[in-house]
Amino acid sequence: MTPQFAIHTVSQGLMAAFWICGPLLALSFALSIVINLIQIATSMQDPVFSTVPRLLASLGGLLLLMPWMLNHAAGYAIAILGDLARYAH
């Protein structure tokens, strides 16, 4: 295995992780901004108000995006394991 091939393999793994986790992280980040703006506007600093909607949105996003995430992860695993002979030398 050449260094370039190893770097390419690692970069593919990192990009797969980014594309799998990215939509859920973006959803949580956007909701956090909205909740923080509401807390600033209303001067309400209740920790339950900031935690519960974030958890529910993350759970809902996870349930909605899970088939896509599993499909993407399975595609990456198939691509890596399907070409296993390249990693042997």
Q: What is the pLDDT of residues 21-35, one digit of tens each?
A: 999 999 999 999 999
Mean pLDDT calculated for residue range 65-87: 89
pLDDT reading at 89 higher than 70? no
pLDDT in tens, 42-72: 888 888 888 898 899 999 999 999 999 999 9
All structural domains of the chain with their residue ranges: 14-88
The one-letter amino acid code at 8 reads H
Is 68 in a helix, a strand, or coil? helix
pLDDT value of residue 56: 92
Q: What's the mean per-residue pLDDT of the chain?
A: 89
Contact criterion met (CB below 8 Å) for 57 and 35 = no
